Structure 1
Amino acid sequence: MAVKLIDKTPSAYDYPLLIKQLLHRPIRYAPEQEIVYRDLCRYTYRDLYKRIGQAANALKALGVEPGSTVGVMDWDSHRYLELFYAVPMMGAILHTVNIRLSPEQILYTVNHAEDDVLLVHEDFLPIVEAIKDQFQTVKKIVLLKDSETAPQTAVPLDGEYEELLAGADADYDFPDFDENTKATTFYTTGTTGLPKGVFFSHRQLVMHTITVMAAAGSLHTTATFRSNDVYMPLTPMFHVHAWGLPYVATQLGVKQIYPGRYEPAMIMKLLVTEKVTFSHCVPTILHMILTSPAAKEVDLSNWKVIIGGSALTKGLCKAAMDRGIDLITGYGMSETCPVLTLSQLQPHMLDWSKEDQIPVRCRTGQPIPLVNLQIMSPDGTFLPHDGKSTGEVVVRSPWLTQGYFKDPERAEELWQGGWLHTGDVGYIDETGYLQITDRIKDVIKTGGEWISTLELEDILMQHEAVSEAAAIAVPDEKWGERPMVLVVLKDDYKGKVSEEDIKAHFMGFVEEGAITKWAVPDRVAFLDALPKTSVGKLDKKVMRQQFS
């Protein structure tokens, strides 16, 4: 028997899920709420709505139309927030350019995305100046600046953002169109090959916004995000829309603080003066803040943080909780828009001791609503949620990228069998908590066994002398691969901790039965800093190249 579709009245409005629909509530609910950019700019949601219209009219005057692509090279700012709305609401595509890529990679992404207009912060003009003659589609370049003086540059500019907005009308009739229209694109770097372009539709971004808002704010749990919070992202806005949280923050009508370039002193100043209560970042940013001299005297007890991008170690979690920070883990990837899980505590866990809560807060988390997440064996069968059966994490959700831009072969690999393959290895326990144990490409395959690099790093971070740590596989003639760990010591311990001390620390966990003796690293290297990717994750590709 066939399903029965609803009968639609000819005059009924279909209400497509477009990004413009997200602005109806906040402009009415919180018109006088503030949006702050560093110590340079402060305005209201009413002003935001006006400036979105001005930005759209200014871009239209530059030739932007439905289907055009607008690239943005900026720090985290109020301007970026405006463009998160204005560009896709016009029916154009927002390309959030990864400013931390090499100039050659930036050139590739601008050309591959077919950017028509490029908005560039003055700090990145030297990069654009070096590659501008190789642009293939860029027709106009607009300056974004914080300084009062005009920069000296050979880049041909077609206007300055604030001047263009000042000369533009605030009224713009944002049209209706298909909710599956492409809204945003950006590029994710892999272990091999050129950056891959992922993209998201209006429908996907609206669904992600509403679901994350419900997941983060509706439960009686830890690290909630609600309308009385003060929000400051510490995840770059070029990277998966800063995890989509600026859309959530605007929908909630919260006060928003944008820090620009990540500088510990400025971040601390904004945390204190603007009374920030909610942020999200990768572990390296949290580590930078906790070890910054500027943070030593700052009260962090009202700060809630979601950690993602890399595993949250128990050592870093304890250090943060010792400062009063309420933190949990979030999980996702560039291809997933990105949020899939949150490690929120269940109500009965809220009265647990800090020591008992830490392992839960460090888990990868439970799937948020509308996420179907499974563990798959190499032969394609689903594994039980028993806390032991380990395989690849695969997922279905309304907001997963439907492919890679102009790369159908890798897109089919991503979506093999109708499930998005994350490339992560993990298990799900009886209560639904996911635990990632490694990336498929990072796991150490030695003598027929798999050793988790994340588990080794977690153990290392519990050593009192260790500031940062990474575990990698290095080639071994007899066993194929063996574990090696890279260690950055705290300043007070440099020159005082040996390779034997680190191995002895691991042996303590062997004696407790936490790991086998086979997992104890063969080699230990002490470094001043660990290589990191453009978004602050540990760059194990570089580490393996360096030590193999």
Structure 2
Amino acid sequence: MLDDLRHSTPSAYSYPLLIKNLLHAPLSQAASQEIVYRGEQRFTYAMLRERICRLANGLCHLGMRNGSTIAVMDWDSHRYLECYFAVPMMGAVLQTVNVRLSQDEIAYTINHAGAEILLVHTDFLPVVEAIKDKLETVCKFVLISDEGSNAGGHAVPFSCEYESMLAVSAPTCDFPDFDENTRATTFYTTGTTGLPKGVWFSHRQLVLHTITLMAALSSPQSGQRFHRGDVYMPLTPMFHVHAWGVPYVATALGVKQVYPGRYVPDRVLKLVRDEGVTFSHCVSTVLHMLLVCPEAKNVDLSKWKIVIGGAALPHGLARAALDRGIDVFTGYGMSETCPLLTLSQLRPGSESLDIDEQVRLRCKTGFPVPLVDLRLVNESMENVAHDGKGYGEIVVRAPWLTEGYLKDPIASARLWEGGYLHTQDIANVDATGNVQITDRIKDVIKSGGEWVSSLEIESIISRHPGVAEVAVIGMKDERWGERPVALVVIKPDAQSPVTEDHIRQHVLMFSEKGQISKYAVPQVVKFVNALEKTSVGKMNKKRMREQFG
């Protein structure tokens, strides 16, 4: 049977899903809205459009052309937002460089992406000076300076300084139409094994992700929402999955945006207070860092909504945030998924639930957002029952998932084996469709013939009043196969001493209630000053296993 294809009017405009089209609504409806950098510089959306044009023209003068890759090394700033738009809008590719990788890894990612122009903040000059002779494709360097220093007098041969380049470039630009499937961005995964992998997204994928994220965040009856009355500040690095795509949403909505630069806890909290920030997103370790900062005691946090992603939200941390009035909830995704897949927004009527049940629901992985086809499968790709008991791997389809790793067809084929993107996350799904990740495939603990969830043990231990942070890993055991090991950071202001036996008895209490297997009670508890983390703030369990396993 032949498809009944449409027959378009010859003069009809076939509207491409290009990043430039996200600017139409804010420029017509919110041209005077503010974009703030560190509380020190203020711009309007009208100025944003002009600066996007100046940046595009300046980069073209340096040699940027259709298909070029432009790499950026900067903190969270208005400049990064300008790059999010200007570079892809010219048909070029934006590479957001993970500045927390090692020097060799940074050089590798820039070379692998084929970047031709590199924009560098002064804070990262030592890194670029160390690797400049290893950069194989970069032809031009642009200095980014908060202090307004010029491009001369450096070991790196800068062509110009960012603001000076914009000042001499034309304030208008005719951004062309092109195929919406054109690659717009590239960044690199931060896995704990092997070299970083290049993940890329097209204009079409980013626009569809933006529209869906906008719809999903605005859908709750109350709470856990992002709307035009909010003030937005990212606390997920802009080099990592486009700061989870939320800057595109914030811009499309025309809301006030606040960019903090480097994450300095007291400055972040000062911006929350002075700029009236109401919506952010971060990993749980950043939220913990902010809550224990002395400045937090002097700031009203009751209007702040925060999405936690990158790793599980521990119940103890969620309760601490709620006690301060923060509307905290979980979002789930990964680098390869752009990243949004699920959100743990409360359903209507949930406000009548007791606080413990609300915490439990906010800490779940959540419900798939519109257009996400999420399956739970066994090793044969057969569906696992959605009964809250069966475990399987999450595999997904959605119109914004990366279609492969850059220049890596073998890893790309593994990622998409069977026609679904494999997340490597083990989960269960209940009858309502609510997802709960229990572990990464590589982190699951098999003890006494049972799968033991390290995330569930972590969540229980996090509820102990003396615990600041916790990570659970598996340790080989001749009798049981593996046993859980708890690595615990004690709160500096803990009211009473915390011992290994206190932690074991705390978990045992939940086991005796039937809430967790007896094999989940850690026989080994180690107290540490800090937990190993990856470059984006996730728990680095591979490194922990090397140290303690």
TM bucket by the smaller chain?
A: over 0.9
2: CA distance between counterparts of 1:149 and 1:494? 49
Structure 1 position 150, deviation (Å): 4.3
Pairs within 5 Å for 1:456-535: 456-493=457-494, 496-535=497-536
Query: Counterpart amino acid of 2:462?
Result: M
Q: Which residue matches 1:130? A: 130
The AA in structure 1 aligned to 2:270 is K
Contact 2:150 / 2:160 at 8 angstroms: preserved in 1? Answer: no
Kindly provide the CA deviation profile for residues 64-120 of structure 1, in whole angstroms up to 9, marking residues without a partner as x.
001000000000000000000000000000000000000010000000000000000
Deviations 1:160-204 (A, max 9, x none): 000000000011111111000000000002232100000000000
Instruction: For structure 2, list consecutive stretches of 5 or more residues without a partner in the other structure.
Output: none
Report what 1:321 is aligned to.
322
Equivalent-residue separation in structure 2 for 1:91 and 1:125 (angstroms): 28
Q: 1:172 corresponds to which residue?
A: 173
Amino acid in structure 2 at the alignment position of 1:301:
S
Instruction: Tell me if structure 2 keeps the 8 A contact 1:474–1:481.
Output: yes
TM-score by length of 1: 0.98
- 1:271-309 C-alpha deviation (Å, 9 max, x unpaired): 000000000010000000000001112110010111111
> What's the offset of the Cα at 1:10?
1.9
CA distance in 2 between partners of 1:511 and 1:241 (Å) = 44
Residue 270 of structure 1 aligns with which residue? 271
Identical-pair percentage: 60
Tell me the amino acid that sits aligned with residue 215 of structure 2.
A
* Matched position secondary structure for 2:2: coil
Query: Is the contact made by 2:391 and 2:428 (CA closer than 8 Å) also made in structure 1?
Result: yes
| Deviation, structure 1 residue 355 | 2.4
Q: Distance in 1 between matches of 2:496 and 2:201?
A: 49
- Runs of 5+ consecutive residues of structure 1 not aligned to the other structure: none
- Deviating beyond 6 angstroms after TM superposition, the runs of 4 or more aligned structure 1 residues are none
- After TM superposition, the structure 1 stretch with the greater mean CA deviation from structure 2, 220-229 or 109-118, is 220-229
- Are residues 1:25 and 2:32 paired? no
CA distance in 2 between counterparts of 1:39 and 1:344 reads 31
TM-superposed deviation, 1:462: 0.5
Q: Which moves more between the two structures, 341-350 or 73-82?
A: 341-350
- Measured in 1, the distance between the counterparts of 2:43 and 2:50 equals 11
1:404 aligns with 2:405: yes
How many pairs does the alignment contain? 548
TM-aligned CA deviation for residue 495 of structure 1: 8.7
In the alignment, what sits opposite 1:285? 286
Q: Distance in 2 between matches of 1:509 and 1:352?
A: 21
Residue 181 of structure 1 corresponds to 182
The answer to whether the aligner puts 1:444 opposite 2:433 as a matched pair is no
What is the CA-CA distance between 1:494 and the residue it aligns to?
A: 9.2
* Residue type of the alignment partner of 2:422: H
Q: How do residues 134-145 of structure 1 correspond to structure 2 at under 5 angstroms?
A: 134-145=134-145
Give the equivalent residue in structure 2 for 1:5. 5
Shift of the alpha carbon at 1:213? 0.4
SS of 2:160's equivalent in the other structure is coil
Which residue type is aligned with residue 244 of structure 1?
A: G
* Structure-2 change in CA distance of 1:153 and 1:474 (3 Å): farther
Contact 2:34 2:43 in 1 (8 A): yes
* SS of aligned partner of 1:356: helix
Q: Give how far 1:432 is off.
A: 1.1
Q: Structure 1 CA distance, aligned partners of 2:516 and 2:389?
A: 15
Contact map agreement 1:222 1:327 (CA 8 A) in 2: no
Asked if structure 1 preserves the Cα contact closer than 8 Å seen for 2:466 and 2:496, the reply is no
Q: Distance in 2 between matches of 1:350 and 1:176?
A: 47
The residue that corresponds to 2:47 in the other structure is 47
Q: After TM superposition, give the deviation of residue 12 of structure 1 in Å.
A: 1.6
Return the alpha-carbon distance in structure 1 between the equivalents of residues 517 and 392 of structure 2: 20
Deviation at 1:476, TM superposition (A): 2.2
**CA distance in 1 between partners of 2:456 and 2:391 (Å):** 14
Structure 1 equivalent of residue 259 of structure 2:
258
**Distance in 2, Cα, partners of 1:122 & 1:444:** 44
In the alignment, the residues of structure 2 paired with residue 481 and residue 314 of structure 1 have an alpha-carbon distance, to the nearest angstrom, of 25
CA contact (8 A) 2:72 2:96 kept: yes
Indicate if the aligned counterparts of 2:150 and 2:161 stay in contact, CA closer than 8 A.
no
Native 8 Å contact 1:444 1:450 kept in 2: yes
Aligned residue number for residue 420 of structure 2: 419
Give the SS at the match of 2:423: strand
Q: Deviations over 1:194-218 (max 9, x none)?
A: 0000000000000000111011013
2:234 corresponding residue in structure 1: 233
- Superposed CA RMSD in Å reads 1.1
Structure 2 Cα separation of the partners of residues 477 and 104 of structure 1: 39
AA aligned to 2:18 is L
In structure 2, what is the Cα distance between the partners aligned to 1:219 and 1:458?
A: 26
